[in-house]
Amino acid sequence: MTKYNNKLLLFLVFTLMCNMLHAQQINVNKKISIKAKNKPLSEVLKEITFKSGIMFSYSSNIIPENTLISIKAKEKPVKEILNEIANNVQINWQIVENQIVLKPIQNIQTNRNSKEKFTISGYIKDKKTGEYLPGASVYIPNTNIGTVSNSYGFYSLTLPKGNYQLAYSYIGYNIMNINVVLNENKIIESILEQEEIALVEIEVKANDVVSDFNNQTSGTMTVSPSLIRKKPAPMGEPEIIKTLQTFPGVISGGDASVYYFVRGGQKDQNLILIDEAPVYNPSHLLGLFSSFVPEAVKSFTFYKSSMPAKFGGRLSSVLDIVTNDGNKNKFSGNVSLGVAASHIQLEGPLKKDKSSWFVSLRRSNIGWLFKRQEQNFDINFTDFNTKTNLRLGKNDRLFLSFYIGKDNFLQTTAIDKYGLEWSNVAGTVRWNHLYNEKLFANTTLYTSKYNYNFYLSQKNGTYWNTYIQTLGIKHDITFYKSPQNTFNLGLGIAVNSENPGNIILSNANSKQII
């Protein structure tokens, strides 16, 4: 009986060990078929698990599970499919017990004690239009080493000699990964492609990685026009300033008003710039619409605290608007007719991939609403933007920008016109010069004028006038010493002239009116 029990026990132990051994073995040579186009990595891994039975283990904090994967395999071994995915996402995989563990590739293969350092620099552009992308990120994945392109799309990153994987990213664009052997200074012009939006499941979970607060800029937001178009728009007209009013710390000046107050400040304590030229009154139709057409805007940065010194120490906020450069690859246009306004936009290359131009015009359509009144009113507004950018050489670029916005709020009679008229005019000439891979310079000549007229008699040339005008020049230098240290130096001078308000009498008949 004892001998029989010992044999039975031995048989059970042998069976259990075989089962455990079988459970630990993963057949990565099993052939499966899979087809995915622009699917998140997590979804592709789930499909591999479903077809092969192989489980995956990884940390979503260090593995880019939302990276879009495109792969097509028919009856291929799982290991070949994983190798292809690993090369695209820059990860390693290994079998650990009964699952496959994913780990990031060690990005920095370099001698940290080496004193040799080299610089990677260049411009980041949109693939479709050739426009430079301001605020794009250049970084080494899974590290805190990186930089951001400036308002002209230029970046510079200095690293020790070695082999690196670099990632280029921008909101609304696919991430581009490249491998770089850094043994000399390199110029890399990166071209990013707009991403196709894939609808995936939304998962909300805690993040056990604490952000590096030293790398955050308090009270600064960079926004693309795509966000503006998603916001509710009065009479179908998307508004930049109304988008700002949804941000924390920003208060609207009233219902349907584009005036805003930031953290207790006054509306005249906000600096508004369009291509570095100030705009003093950003409103149309007594504050119902703003002066900035989203189609003409490439991006804007809003500072509601910690404003850089280059803006002159503003009290409340700074709104820095950058307009479109124009399509460098092909001619294109857009015409739209809305309830409140009509739009026309044209752009194209002067010399393909070198220089381009951009024109945008907006004209209000609401004048007919007031012409049905007994007293005929002439109420309308117009915005006109144009920009030309020229590549003068390898290290020099020239930008010419012009903006004019005008309002009429006049009552028309059989013999005369009375009422209000105001306008904003702004123009800039900017010259970019790259001294070397670390030293970037920009010189800006700008002018701006806000003019306001209150007509007592337009026929007789009798009106009350006030204006403010600015003419200035400034020179900015940026030195990219290292990923952790960037130095900005600048010098500027501006001359202001203003008229607080005077009555203009053009002829003798004007005295009778007064």
Per the CB < 8 A criterion, the answer to whether 317 and 262 are in contact is yes
| Region of poorest pLDDT, from 59-73, 325-339, 465-479 | 59-73
pLDDT of residue 22: 44
| Region of poorest pLDDT, from 23-27, 198-202, 243-247, 439-443 | 198-202
Q: Per the domain annotation, does 16 fall within a domain?
A: no
pLDDT of residue 16: 46
Please give the distance of CA 386 from its chain centroid, rounded to a whole number: 20
SS in 3 state form for 364-391? ECHHHHCCCCCCEEEEEEEEEEEEEEEE
> For the segment 203-246, what is each residue's pLDDT rounded down to a tens digit?
655 544 444 434 445 577 777 776 776 666 667 777 888 888 88
CA neighbor of 273 nearest in space, from 291, 251, 252: 291
- The total domain count for the chain is 3
pLDDT of residue 228: 72
| Region of poorest pLDDT, from 135-144, 434-443, 501-510 | 501-510
Mean pLDDT score of the chain: 81
Q: pTM of the entire structure?
A: 0.71
Q: Per the domain annotation, does 430 fall within a domain?
A: yes
Residues 34 and 127 in one domain: no
Residues 175 and 258 in one domain: no
SS in 3 state form for 17-35? HHHHHHHHCCCCCCEEEEE
Both tokens assigned to 315: 């009290």
Average pLDDT over residues 257-278: 87
Model confidence at 452, pLDDT cuts 50, 70, 90, reads: very high
Q: Per the domain annotation, does 201 fall within a domain?
A: no
Using DSSP's 3-state secondary structure scheme, residue 267 falls into helix
pLDDT of residue 110: 46
Q: Per the domain annotation, does 177 fall within a domain?
A: yes
Residues 164 and 292 in one domain: no
Average pLDDT over residues 96-117: 67
Q: Per the domain annotation, does 9 fall within a domain?
A: no
pLDDT of residue 55: 84
| Higher pLDDT, residue 349 or 221 | 349
Residues 488 and 506 in one domain: yes
Using DSSP's 3-state secondary structure scheme, residue 340 falls into coil
pLDDT of residue 79: 86
Per the CB < 8 A criterion, the answer to whether 239 and 290 are in contact is yes
> Where does a domain end: 146, 173, 192?
192
> Where does a domain end: 172, 192, 212?
192
Per the CB < 8 A criterion, the answer to whether 358 and 386 are in contact is yes
371-398 burial, b at 16+ Cβ within 10 Å, e below that, comes to eeeeeebebbbbbbbbbbbbbeeeeebe
Q: What kind and span of H or E run contains 328?
A: none
Instruction: Say which residue the tokens 């990884």 belong to.
Output: 58
Count CB-CB contacts under 10 A for residue 59. Answer: 13
| Region of poorest pLDDT, from 188-192, 201-205, 311-315 | 201-205
The CATH number of whichever domain residue 162 belongs to comes to 2.60.40.10
> Where does a domain end: 82, 104, 126?
104
Per the CB < 8 A criterion, the answer to whether 193 and 127 are in contact is yes
**pLDDT greater than 60 at residue 23:** no
Can you give the residue range of the structural domain that contains 372? 220-513
The CATH number of whichever domain residue 52 belongs to comes to 3.55.50.30
**pLDDT greater than 80 at residue 507:** no
Q: Per the domain annotation, does 275 fall within a domain?
A: yes
Residues 95 and 128 in one domain: no
**pLDDT greater than 80 at residue 342:** yes
Average pLDDT over residues 40-63: 82
Residues 468 and 429 in one domain: yes
**Percentage of the residues of the chain whose pLDDT score is greater than 90:** 27
pLDDT of residue 49: 87
| Region of poorest pLDDT, from 15-19, 70-74, 367-371, 378-382 | 15-19
pLDDT of residue 205: 55
**pLDDT greater than 90 at residue 423:** yes
**Cα 307 from Cα 322, distance rounded (Å):** 17
Average pLDDT over residues 292-302: 87
| Residues pairing with 425 in the sheet | 404, 449
**pLDDT greater than 80 at residue 410:** yes
**pLDDT greater than 90 at residue 83:** no
pLDDT of residue 509: 58
